[in-house]
């Protein structure tokens, strides 16, 4: 594990996102609250928060961080793809005042949120798949700020980066 004891604490923010592709009927049932296991996005919110808080237990070289805020949001992506699947995008913002960044916490949280939705809907849609889990932005720290440059809102092509 990297020694960060000499680094000063600064405000750290990371935003990660990912997409769960599914049949249109599955998304409609999620939105209508018609999934047998319960309120899908509410459960996924809790799972994301739990994952961010436990990242250091899951990723061996991560530091335990005093997280000060975790925000989870979802939105439907426009139009079906070539296979007729629609997308549900999850986005997680993680904040802390610390000596190292919170990128892994944001990535872990968005991954677990999407896996939770998958778990809750797998009985009705075996074709679901997760795509584009990635860091969108990070702020703070020695290396400063970084933001992913979006090519297209629906994220069908390879990501382009800028520093």
Residues labelled catalytic = 119
C-alpha 94/C-alpha 38 separation (Å) is: 26
Coil, strand or helix: which one is 4?
coil
Q: How far apart are CA 126 and CA 138, in angstroms?
A: 34
Q: Residue 94 and residue 76: Cα distance in Å, rounded?
A: 21
Closest by CA to 71, choosing from 56, 89, 49, 50, is: 49
Cα–Cα nearest to 70, from 123, 13, 128, 23:
13
């Amino acid at each position: 594990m990297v020694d960060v004891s000499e680094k000063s604490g600064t405000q750290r923010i990371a935003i990660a996102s990912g997409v769960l592709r599914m049949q249109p009927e599955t998304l409609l049932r999620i939105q209508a609250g018609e999934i047998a296991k319960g309120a899908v996005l509410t459960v996924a919110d809790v799972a994301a928060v739990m994952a961010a808080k436990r990242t250091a237990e899951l990723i061996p070289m991560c530091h335990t961080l005093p997280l000060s805020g975790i925000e989870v949001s979802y939105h439907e992506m426009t139009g079906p793809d070539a296979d007729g699947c629609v997308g549900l995008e999850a986005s997680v913002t993680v904040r802390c005042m610390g000596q190292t960044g919170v990128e892994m916490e944001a990535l872990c949280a968005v991954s677990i949120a999407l896996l939770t939705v998958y778990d809750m809907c797998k009985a009705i849609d075996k074709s679901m798949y997760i795509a584009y889990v990635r860091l969108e932005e990070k702020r703070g720290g020695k290396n400063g700020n970084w933001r992913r440059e979006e090519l297209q809102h629906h994220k069908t092509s390879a990501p382009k980066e800028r520093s």
